[in-house]
């Protein structure tokens, strides 16, 4: 065995250009497959984080159309069907949407064991001015007192809203770190400064940071966000005091059960007879998007697989040339007593070493490419590209198998020819002797 390894290594080192060309196809093929699969994996993870990470925060909304099963759940497919049909059927209610009462939501928290908290909001957009600086189309969210508890935002400077701020309709706001940087150049510099929204002045009492800011980058590509009391927003902008309702479910597995129970309870408390409150099944949306991403991954993976196949064919061709040009060497070894197994093992070892080195180089280059572009993609998608073990190992094994199998097939044919034509080989070997 050691002798076979010695022969194989000496052959590789003695034909450096041939060895390099053999590895080149493997390097390019492995690199292409691993990078493309990593990009697809990163994209899939981004969607999973954006949609899956917030599944326990269940939004409840009013619908003029009852759910098909009467369970207060709207699936992703139902949403698409409604969008395509325009809800233009006789099952749509003409019942006026009721004004949401916060006591309904509180009762859902008290009555449903699987729900431990909630928050309500209203919203609008406005231009925020500070001196000569301004930020256009900033989302303004009006929040209740439980908002920060559920969202788990980090206060990096100042404070949150207090009960007195709600009672006195105080013109105070909180900025996120992005908006604070735009207007003031930092969180600390923003505290106690006066910003202008329309014709009204507001004092900045705090700056917050969303710990999931990167994860939510896809859904929040704006110049920042601003928070104020929902009662204040309703009074200043003539909008409903409660426009959005979110309940927090304790366990992810109970989201559908407890979320739909909360929706049905709100429907009951509001006295609705035709319309109803519903929850959106984010799990169905996530599954649909993951299925679409998987299709994209398969397509791009197939394209990368072509490169890998070409690499494997390159290995095969080099192996064929290598075996053919070494006919005398093989015949000489046979004449000196080497068995078919010894010769086969030598070529198998050569193929294994070349493909292993080529695969490792391809993986290293793929890792460098992924690391180079990973930061940019992480900032945009919210999740970095990820090199998977399956793509790394599978690509190397696939390309190696092609080269080894076809090379050995050619070698076996050559050995059979040598065995059946001993006179011809003896003439060739006589020149060496």
Residue 319: count of CB within 10 angstroms of its CB: 26
pLDDT confidence of residue 77: 73
Closest CA to 180 of 214, 223, 124, 141: 223
Q: What is the CA radius of gyration of the chain?
A: 34
Closest CA to 387 of 405, 369, 409, 403: 369
The counts of H helices and E strands in the chain are 15, 11
Residues 192/207, Cβ–Cβ less than 8 Å: no
Longest distance between any two alpha carbons in the chain, whole Å: 109
Unique residue bearing structure tokens 């395509």: 84
b/e 124-161 (16+ beta carbons within 10 angstroms → b): bebebbbeeeebeebbbbbbbbbbbebbebeeebbebb
How far apart are alpha carbons 323 and 317 in whole angstroms?
A: 10
**In degrees, to the nearest 5, what angle opens at C-alpha 245 toward C-alphas 243 and 247?**
170
Pick left, alpha or beta for residue 43 (phi over 0 → left; psi -120 to 50 → alpha; otherwise beta).
alpha
Closest CA to 58 of 144, 122, 119: 119
Alpha helices in 152-229 (DSSP H): 163-167, 177-184, 187-190
How far apart are alpha carbons 410 and 432 in whole angstroms?
A: 24
What torsion do the CA atoms of 81, 63, 48, 39 make, to the nearest 10 degrees? 50
Q: Enumerate the β-bridge partners of residue 128.
A: 135, 197
Residue 319 DSSP one-character state? H
b/e 328-350 (16+ beta carbons within 10 angstroms → b): eebbbbbeeebeeeebebbbbbb
Residue 138 DSSP one-character state? E
Measured in degrees and rounded to the nearest 5, phi and psi for residue 415 equal -65, -40
pLDDT confidence of residue 432: 44
Positive or negative torsion for Cα 8, 11, 13, 16: negative
How far apart are alpha carbons 26 and 356 in whole angstroms?
A: 9
Residues 141/226, Cβ–Cβ less than 8 Å: yes
Residue 230: count of CB within 10 angstroms of its CB: 28
pLDDT confidence of residue 219: 44
How far apart are alpha carbons 426 and 51 in whole angstroms?
A: 73
Provide the token pair at 371.
């690391």
Unique residue bearing structure tokens 């990163």: 42
Closest CA to 414 of 320, 349, 339, 335: 320
Q: What pTM does this model have?
A: 0.64
pLDDT confidence of residue 431: 45
Half-sphere exposure of 263 (CA within 13 A, CB side): 27
DSSP assignment of 5-49 equals HHHHHHHHHH-HHHHHHHHHHHHHHHHHHHHHHHHHHHHHHHHII
Beta strand segments in 131-217, E: 133-143, 154-158, 172-176, 194-197, 200-209
Residues 6 or more apart from 416 whose CB is under 8 A from it?
Answer: none
How far apart are alpha carbons 183 and 156 in whole angstroms?
A: 16
Q: Could you read off the pLDDT tens digit of each residue along the chain, which spans 433 residues? A: 566 567 667 766 766 777 777 778 778 878 888 887 787 777 766 666 655 556 788 999 998 888 777 778 877 677 676 666 665 454 566 678 888 999 999 999 999 999 999 999 999 999 999 998 999 999 999 999 999 999 989 999 999 999 999 999 999 999 999 999 999 999 999 999 999 998 899 999 999 998 766 555 544 567 899 999 999 999 999 999 999 999 999 988 898 899 999 999 999 999 888 888 999 887 777 777 777 777 877 777 777 677 667 766 766 666 666 666 666 766 776 677 777 677 777 777 777 777 778 888 888 888 888 887 766 665 555 556 777 777 777 777 776 676 667 666 666 766 666 566 655 555 554 544 4
Closest CA to 151 of 110, 210, 231: 210
Residues 342/9, Cβ–Cβ less than 8 Å: no
What length is written for the chain?
433
């Amino acid at each position: 065995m050691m002798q076979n390894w010695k022969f194989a290594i000496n052959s590789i080192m003695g034909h450096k250009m041939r060895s390099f060309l053999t590895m080149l196809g493997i390097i390019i093929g492995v690199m292409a497959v691993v990078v493309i699969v990593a990009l697809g994996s990163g994209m899939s993870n981004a969607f999973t984080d954006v949609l899956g990470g917030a599944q326990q925060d269940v939004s409840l909304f009013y619908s003029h159309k009852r759910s098909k099963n009467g369970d207060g759940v709207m699936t992703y497919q139902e949403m698409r069907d409604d969008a395509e049909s325009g809800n233009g059927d006789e099952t749509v209610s003409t019942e006026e949407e009721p004004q949401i009462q916060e006591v309904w939501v509180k009762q859902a928290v008290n009555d449903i064991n699987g729900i431990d908290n909630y928050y309500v909001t209203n919203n609008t957009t406005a231009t925020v001015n500070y001196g000569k600086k301004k930020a256009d189309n900033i989302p303004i969210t009006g929040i209740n007192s439980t908002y920060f508890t559920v969202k788990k935002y980090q206060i990096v400077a100042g404070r949150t809203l207090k009960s007195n701020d709600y009672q006195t309709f105080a013109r105070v706001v909180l900025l996120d770190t992005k908006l604070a940087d735009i207007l003031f150049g930092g969180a600390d510099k923003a505290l106690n400064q006066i910003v202008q929204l329309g014709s009204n002045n507001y004092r900045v009492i705090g700056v917050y940071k969303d710990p999931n800011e990167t994860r939510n980058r896809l859904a929040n590509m704006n110049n920042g966000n601003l928070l104020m009391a929902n009662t204040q927003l309703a009074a200043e902008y003539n909008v409903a005091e409660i426009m959005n309702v979110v309940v927090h479910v304790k366990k992810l597995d109970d989201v559908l059960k407890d979320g739909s129970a909360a929706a049905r309870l709100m429907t009951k408390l509001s006295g609705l007879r035709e319309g109803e409150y519903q929850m959106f099944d984010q799990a169905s949306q996530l599954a649909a998007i993951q299925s679409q991403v998987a299709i994209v991954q398969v397509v791009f993976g197939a394209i990368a697989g072509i490169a890998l196949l070409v690499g494997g064919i390159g290995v095969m061709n080099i192996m064929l040339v290598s075996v053919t040009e070494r006919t005398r060497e093989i015949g000489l070894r046979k004449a000196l007593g080497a068995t078919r197994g010894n010769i086969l093992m030598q070529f198998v070892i050569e193929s294994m070493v070349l493909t292993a080195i080529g695969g490792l180089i391809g993986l290293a280059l793929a890792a460098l490419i992924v690391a180079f572009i990973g930061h940019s993609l992480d900032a945009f998608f919210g999740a970095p590209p990820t090199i998977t073990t399956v793509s790394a190992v599978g690509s190397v094994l696939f390309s190696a198998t092609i080269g080894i199998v076809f090379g050995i097939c050619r070698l076996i044919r050559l050995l059979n020819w040598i065995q059946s034509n001993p006179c011809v080989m003896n003439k060739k070997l006589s020149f060496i002797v």
